[in-house]
Structure 1
Amino acid sequence: MKKQFIAFSTLLMLAAAMKLQSAEPENSLISKSLSVQSADEKFKLSFGGRIQADGAVFVGEDYQPLGNGVGFRRVRLGATATFGDHLSGKMEVDFTDGSFSLKDCFVKYDLPHSLSVKAGNFKESFAMSAMTSSGDLMFMEKANVVSAFAPEYHMGVQGEWRSGSFMTAAGVYFRRINGSKEKDYSETNNKAGQDEGISYTARAVWMPLSQDKTRGFHLGGALSYRTPKTTVGSLMPNTVRYSTTSLSYINKIKFLDTAPITNVDNDLLAGLELAAFHRQFRMQGEYILNHTHRSGDLSTEKFNGFYIQAGYLLFGGQQKYSTSRGAFTQPTPGKSWGDLELAARFDRIDLNGTQVKGGSANGLTLGLNYYATRNLKLQLNYSYVDNDKYADAFNSAAVGYNSSGEKVYDGEKVDENSGKGGNAYGILGLRMQLNF
């Protein structure tokens, strides 16, 4: 009942906002699009959302069949409120696949000297691609290394400072507030007396051409020290797990999966960011290193990955960069009917450590983005994914043959005299996105 009530209440607020839009403005409130504000402009409430509908076809699988399909990648509704010059807040929820999950839910206060602090549930400031809004991504999915390692949404407190060409953010974060599964895990582990884990994350960005709207340069770095969270599984203390869906949300098989890594003392994440843009062109790349330190005599597991990508607007549009996020936003089209962007990306991830074998993969993605209006965007992607034999989805995906010619689901058992292990395949994906 709580989920239905939240959904109904959110829709009701949106309906009320649209009602205000069509009504005559009263003395105290002025309606503007999906926003209402007081006459003195000290209070403003804005509503918005995002719908992303995806479809994908898989071709050329080696051993493990993949099912073609369609689905909603994101169904978001949210509201942002500002109170005077210093206080603001945001709430955003997602209803993908009929389930409820909380995204942004925080309060922010702006202090003197370009300082600000926010508390609640929000993205940890780590990785340029992760800090990019999901509606502004160059491709349908983030690179595998970002999907696997970037912390994204957690509860916490974060301070930010922006001045001229520099931006920094640092905070302390706790457990993930997401869907019902994470909630059940956390509550079960809490009752068993397990600490929920804590993280310290910091990011710094240098933007030397931040005042120039036609060109820019971005150099950034981030560090995160993390103790295991209680949302990994039920009664699994000191455990972490890293996995990714391999460039497609429609594919539900996570070939790249470390499985639960036990006896973990802490994780150390480090990331480097490089990006630039000039009029129609933009490029960016990142490298992320993850060291999982285990207790006792167990060795440290070392994972890493990188990507590099670029895009070019064909009809005179302008790439756009947000100095508040330190990330790209949706470009300005060059024509009245919109603009087309050609894009390409290469990414690699390696989840094969000393004892843990979660698989490695190379990915090549070509994309065509059509920015029809500020509200409507179409994306066409073709990705070629090449997984090694250890990318066996925690022993649940076929990755080769043994010496007897039988399919095996464990990379360690692949006899490469019978053929190269691992699945290589193509993905043709299409997305329709509506922002409102």
Structure 2
Amino acid sequence: MRRLAAVIAAVSAALAGPALADQAKTRGNLEITSDDGQFSAELGGRIHFDAYLFDDDIEDPVSTSEFRRTRITLSGHAYSWKYKLEQDFAAGNTQAGFRDVYLSHEFFGGSITIGQFKVYRGMEELTSSNELTEMERPFASATGLYEGRQFQQGIGWHNHWQCTTAGAMVYNLRNAAGPRNEGLGAAARFTWAPFNSEWSTVHLGISASREDANRDSDEIEAVANYAGRRGPSQLIALTPGDAGFFFGDYGDQEFYLGNPGGHFDSVGVELAATYGPLYAQAEYAYAKFDGDYAVSQQTFDNWFDRYPNCDPYFGCFIGDQDVRSWYVMGSWMITGEHKPYNGKKGVFKSAKPRSEWGAWELTARYDTIENRDIPDLQANSTIVGVNYYHNPRVRFMLNLVFGDDDFTDDKTKQLAIRAQMSW
């Protein structure tokens, strides 16, 4: 019996020895590092639970609730390579839920990233959803001008030097859930913070991108959800992807006059500043959507929600479309906190409460997007809100959204509420 006990003790010690050599850190999250420092794994995540109540006008959206985001994130390093694997379980299926999924390595003073990650364009676009001032991003982002093209598969390089950042990438026009296609895109962003102190910062930025649709590419769209998420949406512009893939869905082959594929170009400028508890941010983006195609009156109405006067034989012709979008946003931390600046990414982070009673923030934003080549095709959104930071990881948000679709004259309003936790 003693011999059996000795054997069990020896085996237990042998199994436990290597595990005890690894180091676990629990400051703010859970991180495990091997005893030689060559491997690490850090577990993170976020839960965003939303509720929407609509005051409908012409459109009739459904007031509802949903899990906006439910993500688990695993990140760390293996020798000199870093990795990140993030899955959003609110997306519906595994591939649609892929967010940041990549490998990265130091390269020429910065880091090179390979896999799926955010395209380097726009300040609000690159701000984490945990740090957003309003519940949804403005039209000058993948919520509008770059509809559905926030995370793309490709390779990019990014670096920062004291008060500046620079990044560039090339990518395929697909994410993990999208169809395999031969479309290609490229984007670059540069930022500069000429003044950055503990309690005040001035930020300037510029970005540009180009996307070329090709075989099996989806259409390239700009869409405005002008009354908040789950509310009515307005198609602003469209460049067709593969002709057979896209126009076959609408039975409009007899009206199609253009060539397969098309391209999209954009440029954006950024301006943001903090002064103590006050914060202001603005972006302007210009984009050109390649056109030169025609569709039937019925298809035009399906797309844009308004029946036009088109030629009965040649349909509705849509040429190149110039789209402009801009917004102005501000906030006031009425409890005196300050939004810190993330100099590595060129974005601002959420304020952290200074007391055990939490922090309060008043917010407002005016947002607009317009297609200059289709008369009256413009949508606007005005938001007033309040955020309560219970602690650095838990936040509650309330947004009152006043939507305005000039094209259809719809003026739906939304009351949106969020409970949010991240770790």
What TM-score, normalized by structure 1, do the two folds share?
Answer: 0.76
2:421 is equivalent to residue 434 of structure 1: yes
- Correspondence for 1:255: 234
| Equivalent residue for 1:134, pick from 113, 129, 141 | 129
What runs of 5+ residues in structure 2 fail to find an aligned partner? 1-17, 242-258, 294-316
Deviation at 1:260, TM superposition (A): 6.1
Measured after TM superposition, the shift of residue 227 of structure 1 is 0.4
Q: Would you say the 8 A contact 2:183–2:217 is kept in 1?
A: no
8 Å Cα contact 2:199-2:338 kept in structure 1 = yes
Q: How far off is 1:369 after superposition?
A: 0.4
Shift of residue 353, structure 1, vs aligned partner: 4.2
- Is 1:53 paired with 2:49? yes
d(CA) in 1 for partners of 2:60, 2:225: 15
In 2, Cα distance between equivalents of 1:435 and 1:247 = 26
Contact 1:143/1:247 (<8 A) preserved: no
Check conservation: 2:72, 2:87, Cα contact below 8 A: yes
Q: Give the drift of 1:270.
A: 0.5
* Cα drift, residue 42 of structure 1: 4.0
Q: Which residue of 2 aligns with 1:306?
A: 326
Q: Which of residues 264, 268, 272 in structure 2 aligns to 1:267?
A: 264
Looking at structure 2, the residues matched to 228 and 94 of structure 1 have their Cα atoms a distance apart, in angstroms, of 27
SS of the counterpart of 1:26? helix
Q: Aligned ranges for residues 9-408 of structure 1 at < 5 Å? A: 26-32=20-26, 33-59=29-55, 61-84=56-79, 86-96=80-90, 98-100=92-94, 101-112=97-108, 114-146=109-141, 147-150=143-146, 151-179=149-177, 182=178, 186-187=179-180, 195-210=181-196, 212-228=197-213, 233=218, 239-251=219-231, 253-258=232-237, 261=240, 263=259, 264-294=261-291, 299-350=319-370, 352-354=371-373, 359-389=377-407, 399=408
Partner of 2:304: none
Q: Distance in 2 between matches of 1:172 and 1:107?
A: 15
Q: Note the C-alpha offset of 1:379.
A: 0.1
Q: CA deviation at 1:312?
A: 1.2
Aligned identity (percent) is 24
CA distance in 2, matches of 1:374, 1:53: 17
In 1, Cα distance between the equivalents of 2:216 and 2:145? Answer: 15
Deviation at 1:373, TM superposition (A): 1.1
Taking only aligned residues, the RMSD between alpha carbons, in angstroms, comes to 2.4
Amino acid across the alignment from 1:359: L
Instruction: Write the distance in 2 (CA, Å) between the matches of 1:116 and 1:320.
Output: 23
Q: Counterpart of 1:133 in 2: which secondary structure?
A: coil
Instruction: Report Cα offsets for 1:243-287 as digits up to 9, x if no partner.
Output: 133352232x32345466464531111100000112212111001
Paired with 1:165 and 1:347, the residues of 2 have a C-alpha distance of: 28
Q: Distance in 1 between matches of 2:73 and 2:162?
A: 30
Encode CA deviations 1:32-60: one digit per residue, 9 max, x unaligned: 2421112344432101111111111111x
Structure with bigger gyration radius: 2
Q: Partners of 1:213 and 1:284 in 2: how far apart? A: 18
Residues 316 and 335, structure 1, Cα contact 8 Å, conserved in 2: no
Q: Residues 231 and 121 from structure 1, CA distance in 2 versus in 1: closer, same or farther, beyond 3 angstroms?
A: farther
Cα deviations across residues 84-123 of structure 1 (Å, max 9, x unaligned)? Answer: 5x421111011115433211011111135x3221111000
**Count of aligned residue pairs for this structure pair:** 358
Query: What is the CA–CA distance in structure 1 between the aligned matches of 2:58 and 2:397, rounded to whole Å?
Result: 29
Question: C-alpha separation between the residues in 2 aligned to 1:229 and 1:104?
Answer: 25
CA distance in 1: counterparts of 2:215 and 2:136, whole angstroms? 27
1:116 and 1:171 map into 2 onto residues whose CA distance is 12
Distance apart, 1:290 and its partner CA: 0.7
Shift of 1:164: 1.9
Aligned residue number for residue 13 of structure 1: none
Deviation of 1:428 after TM superposition, in Å, equals 0.7
Aligned counterparts of 1:298 and 1:347: Cα–Cα separation in 2: 25
List gaps (5 residues or longer) in structure 1: 1-23, 188-194, 234-238, 390-398, 400-421
Pair 324,78 (structure 1): closer, same or farther in 2 beyond 3 Å: same
